[in-house]
Structure 1
Amino acid sequence: MAEALAAGTRRGYALGSVATGTFGTVPGLLLLPYLTDSLGIAAVVAGFIVFVPKAWDVLLNPVVGRLSDRSTSPGGRRRPFLLRGGLALAVCFALLFAGPTGPTFLAGAWVVFWFLACATAYAFFQVPYVAMPAEMTLDYAERTRLMTWRVIVLALAILLSGATAPMVVNAFGGEETATGYRFMGVYVAAILTVGVVGAWRGTRDAPEHRVETAGGSLRDQLRLVGASHDFRALLTTFVLQAVGVGAMLAGVAYVADDLLDSSAAATILFAAFVAPALLVTPLWERYADRRGKRSGYLISSAFLVVGAALLIVARQDLEAVVYAAAALVGIGYAGAQVFPMAMLPDVAAHDARTSGENRIGVFTGVWTAGETLGLAIGPGLFALILAIGGYVSSTDHTADQPDSALTAIAIGFSLVPAVLIAASVLFLRRYALDSTRTTTHPEGDRVD
C-alpha cells in the first residue's frame, strides 16, 4: 500500500479550493445580476456574456493539461502553474468589475474581455491543480481522504465568498451602483491570492510519482482519453450536474430579491447550503470506505435532486421550507464533490498504469473543460429562462416583475436543475472502476 500523505500536505493542497470555490461561486452568483440590474443589459445578452468566456476554456483546458504533462520544471511538474495562473486570476478578477457603467456596449465589452482573461488564467491554475492528486499518491483510499479535506475547504470558501461578496456590494453602495461591485472585486481578488499562495506553499513537500509523458499529438491523446468508458460516464455525470448547480447559483440573487423579498436571504441560503456540507463531508468519506465511491455518488446525487425539486416552493411565507431544502442540496453537493473528484484520479492513474504513459494532465484538462462548460451553460440557461418569462432588466431595481418572470425564476432555480441532476444518474450507473473490498491500485497491488 502506498504511504499516506502528511496531514500538512493534505491541508496545503486543500487550500487551492479557496481559489476554485471562490471563482466558481462569485461570478455565478453576482455577474449575471451585475449585468442585468447594474449595467441594464438584457437578460439574453447577459447570459451570452457569461457563457462565451467560460466556453473558451473548453478549448483551452486540454491544451493546458498537455502543457503541464510535458513540464520539466525543477519546482514540480504542476506546482509552478498554480502560482502564475492563480495570481494572474486575482488581478484579472479585480479588473472584471472595475469597468465603465456605460454606454451599454462598452460596459459589456469590458466584462467580456476581462472575464475571458479570468477564464484563461483560471485554466492555468485549475487544470494542473486538479491533476496533482493522481501523482501525489498511488493509493485509492488516500485520494478520498485528500478530497475530503479539499471539499471541506471548498465548502468554507463557498460560504466565505458567497455570503460575504454580496455584503461587500451592499456595504459600498448596493446593487444600484457599480461602486460596490468594484470594492467586491478587490476583496475577492485578495481571497483568491490567499488560496493560490497557500496551495503553492502547502504542496512544496508533496510526493510526485511521475510516469513517462505520453507521446503523440494532443488530438491523439484526446482520442485515447475519450476511449475510456469510465471517464466518459463520470465526465457526463459531472457536467450535467455542473449545469444544474450553475443554474441554481445564478438564481440565488433573483430568488432572494424577487421571491423571498429580502437581500439578506442570499446570505442565509448560502449558510443553509454550506453548513450541512461541512458536517457531512467526513461522513461521505466513511461511506466511501465501506460502500465505495460510486455508491456514495449515487446517494449524494439523490439528495441533490430532492433538495432542488423542493426549492420550487420558494416564496416569502415558506422561507423555512426553502432553507431546509437548501440544506438537503448542501448535503448532496458535498458528496457530489468528494466522490467524482476522488474518482477522476482513479481513472487517470489507472490509465497511466495500464498504458505506462502519463496522460493525467489531458484527463484533467478535459474534465475541467467539461466542468467549466457546465458552470457556464447553467447561468446562460437560467438567463434564457428569465428571458422567456419576460424578466425586466433595470439599472435602478424599481422595475416590477410580471408573474411569468417570478415563475421563471422558480423553475430555473429548482425544477430545471433537479431534472438535469436526475438525468446525470443514468450515466453514473455505467461507471465500473470501483470496488468496496478489492481495489486495484495504480502500481498493480490488490488490497483485500
Structure 2
Amino acid sequence: MADAAPALPPVRRVGRTTLAAYGFGAVAYGVKDLGFGTFLLLFYNQVIGLPSAQVGFVIMCALLFDACIDPAIGVASDRTRSRWGRRHPWMYAAALPIALGWLALWNPPDWQGPAVLAWLFASAVFVRSAVSSYEVPSQALTPELTADYDERTRITAWRYIFGWAGGMVMLFVAYRIFLLPTEAQPNGLLNRAGYQGLAIAGATVMFVAIMVSALGTHREIGRLPRPPAATGGFRAAVRELVAAARNRAFLVLLLAGLFAYTNQGVGFALSNYVYGYVWRFESATFAMLAGVLFVGVTIAFFAAPRIAARFGKPKTAAMLVVASGLLHGSPFWLRAAGLFPEPGDPAQVPSLFAIYIFNTACSVGTAILGASMMADIAEHSEAETGRRNEGVFYAGAFFIQKCTSGVGIFVAGVILAAAGFPENAQPGQVAAETIDRLATLFPLLYLTLACSAAIAFLRFPFGADEHRVRVAGLAGDGEVDRSRP
C-alpha cells in the first residue's frame, strides 16, 4: 500500500479520529511553549537569582543556535524513506529525549552564576532540538493529509486548540497545585520546589502526547504522499533548501511571523510580571486565568476558519493581528489616563479578563491562519520547482518561531532592565516609576510589532482561487498556470 501512495495529497476532509490524534500531539508543544515563554525567564531571574538581561540573552542565544538545526531536520525529514514513511520515525524517536531534557532544564545544579547560565544554555538547546525533531515532521503532515484549502485551516485549528489546551492545563496546575505560597516563601511564583514538580508533570504530559499522536496517525502512513527520493548528498540538500527558501510566499510569511512571534515572545515572557506586579493578581485570580484564556482559544477555533473562508486567510490574519495589538495595549493606555480600575477595585479583574478573552482569540486566530497559509505553500513551491518540501517550509516557520521567541525573551529582559525592575521583587513593593515604565514600553512595542505583521500578511501573494487552480493542475486535471503568483 505504501508503494502506491500518491505524489499529491487528496482533496478530502480528514476523519475525526485522525484529526483528534494529530491535534493531540500539539499538547507537547503547548507545554513547552508555556514553560519557555511564561516561566523560564521568571524562574532563572527571580528564583535562581540571575540578572534578567543575562538570562534573556542566554535564552536568546540558545534558541538562535538551536534554530539553525531546524532546516537540517526539515531537509532530512523530507528525504527520509522508511516503512513508516517520512515523518513518523522522527516523531517516535523524539518523545523520550524531550521528556529528559525538560527535567534537566528546570533542575539546574547548585552552581555559581556563569556555570548556571551555561547549564541553561545547554539544556535549552537540547530541549528545543528534541522538540524540533518532533514538531517539524509533525507539522509537515498538515499539507500531506489533505490538499483542500479550507480543510487545512480546520486541521490547523485543531492543532492550536490542543496546543493551547495543554498549555492552559499546565498553567492551571502551576498556579493551583505547584506554585503555591508557603510559610518560607509567601510568593508562590518564587517557590523553587514547585517548579520541580511542574517539570515532572510537563515531561510526562509531553511524552504521552507525542506517543498518542504518532500512534493515532500511524494508519495514515500508507495514504500520505511519497514523492521520489531526492538524489545527491549534502550539497544537493543545500541547493534544495536554498531553492525552497526563495519562494516568495514563503519569504512573506516568514516576515509576518518574524513580527508576530516576536510579539508573542515578549508578551509571554512579561506576562507574569504584568499579572503579579502591575495588576497584582491574587492566587485565586491566577487560578482563573487559564480558563479565561482558553475561552479565547475556543473562540478562535470556531471563528478563524469561518472568517477566513469568507475574507481570505491573508486579510483575516492582518485584521486579527492588529486587533490583538490594540486590545493588548488598551488596559495600559487606560491606566495611564486614569480610566482603568486600580488593583483591589472589584471591576479590575472582570475588565481585564474580558479584554484577555478577545485578545487571545485574535492572537490565536492569527497563528492558526499563518500556519494554514504555510501548508498552502507546498503546492505553490511544487508548481515552481517540481519538489514537495513540506519539511523545509515548516522548518523555516519553526526557525522563525524559535529565533523570535529567543529575541522576545531577550527584549523582555531588556525592558525589565530599562524599567529598573529588581530581582526577588515582591508585588506591591516595586517603585511606582518602575511599574509605569514597564506599562509604557511593553504595549507600545507590542502594537508596533502587530502592525508590522499585518502589513506583511497583506503582501501574501495568493488566495483560495489560485490555490485550487494550482492543485488541479498538479493533480493532472489541468495545466498549472505558472504566470500566477
CA deviation after TM superposition for structure 1 residue 226, in Å: 2.6
For residue 348 of structure 1, the aligned residue among 378, 381, 397 is 378
Percent identical among aligned pairs is: 20
**Residues 415 and 442, structure 2, Cα contact 8 Å, conserved in 1:** no
**Residues 57 and 119, structure 1, Cα contact 8 Å, conserved in 2:** yes
Partner of 2:244: 225
Instruction: Give TM-score scaled by structure 1 length.
Output: 0.93
Structure 1 window deviating more from structure 2 (122-131 vs 345-354): it is: 345-354
CA deviation after TM superposition for structure 1 residue 436, in Å: 5.7
After TM superposition, list the pairs within 5 Å mapping 1:57-76 onto structure 2.
Answer: 57-76=66-85
Amino acid at match of 2:262: V
**Residues 136 and 394, structure 2, Cα contact 8 Å, conserved in 1:** yes
Query: How has the CA–CA distance of structure 1 residues 374 and 73 changed in structure 2, closer, same or farther, with 3 Å as cutoff?
Result: same
Partner of 2:158: 149
- Residues 214-241 of structure 1: per-residue CA shift (max 9 Å, x gap): 4553432232123211111111112211
Partner of 2:267: 248
What is the rounded CA distance, in whole Å, between the counterparts of 1:438 and 1:127 in structure 2? 23
Amino acid at match of 1:75: W
Partner of 2:207: 193
After TM superposition, list the pairs within 5 Å mapping 1:47-446 onto structure 2.
Answer: 47-171=56-180, 174-206=188-220, 207-215=223-231, 217-264=236-283, 265-312=285-332, 313=334, 316=343, 317=345, 318-394=348-424, 397=426, 400-411=429-440, 413-435=442-464, 439-444=468-473, 445=477
**Residues 256 and 456, structure 2, Cα contact 8 Å, conserved in 1:** yes
**Residues 276 and 427, structure 2, Cα contact 8 Å, conserved in 1:** no
Aligned alpha-carbon RMSD (Å): 2.3
**Residues 150 and 305, structure 2, Cα contact 8 Å, conserved in 1:** no
Instruction: Give TM-score scaled by structure 2 length.
Output: 0.86
What is the rounded CA distance, in whole Å, between the counterparts of 1:311 and 1:31 in structure 2? 25
Amino acid at match of 1:203: T
Q: Unpaired runs of 5+ in structure 1?
A: none
What is the rounded CA distance, in whole Å, between the counterparts of 1:109 and 1:405 in structure 2? 30
- Residues 107-132 of structure 1: per-residue CA shift (max 9 Å, x gap): 33322221121111111111111111
Amino acid at match of 2:276: D
Q: Unpaired runs of 5+ in structure 2?
A: 1-9, 183-187, 336-341, 479-485
CA deviation after TM superposition for structure 1 residue 412, in Å: 5.0
**Residues 66 and 362, structure 1, Cα contact 8 Å, conserved in 2:** yes
CA deviation after TM superposition for structure 1 residue 267, in Å: 4.0
Query: How has the CA–CA distance of structure 1 residues 183 and 376 changed in structure 2, closer, same or farther, with 3 Å as cutoff?
Result: same
**Residues 135 and 210, structure 1, Cα contact 8 Å, conserved in 2:** no
Aligned length: 446
What is the rounded CA distance, in whole Å, between the counterparts of 2:49 and 2:110 in structure 1? 9
**Residues 92 and 214, structure 2, Cα contact 8 Å, conserved in 1:** yes
**Residues 101 and 178, structure 1, Cα contact 8 Å, conserved in 2:** no
For residue 2 of structure 1, the aligned residue among 2, 11, 19 is 11
Greater gyration radius: 2
**Residues 249 and 460, structure 2, Cα contact 8 Å, conserved in 1:** yes
Amino acid at match of 1:17: A
Structure 1 window deviating more from structure 2 (168-177 vs 92-101): it is: 168-177
CA deviation after TM superposition for structure 1 residue 402, in Å: 2.6
What is the rounded CA distance, in whole Å, between the counterparts of 1:245 and 1:12 in structure 2? 26
CA deviation after TM superposition for structure 1 residue 353, in Å: 3.8
- Residues 275-298 of structure 1: per-residue CA shift (max 9 Å, x gap): 122134222212222322122212
Structure 1 window deviating more from structure 2 (235-244 vs 325-334): it is: 325-334
What is the rounded CA distance, in whole Å, between the counterparts of 1:147 and 1:85 in structure 2? 21
What is the rounded CA distance, in whole Å, between the counterparts of 2:20 and 2:469 in structure 1? 26
What is the rounded CA distance, in whole Å, between the counterparts of 1:99 and 1:58 in structure 2? 23
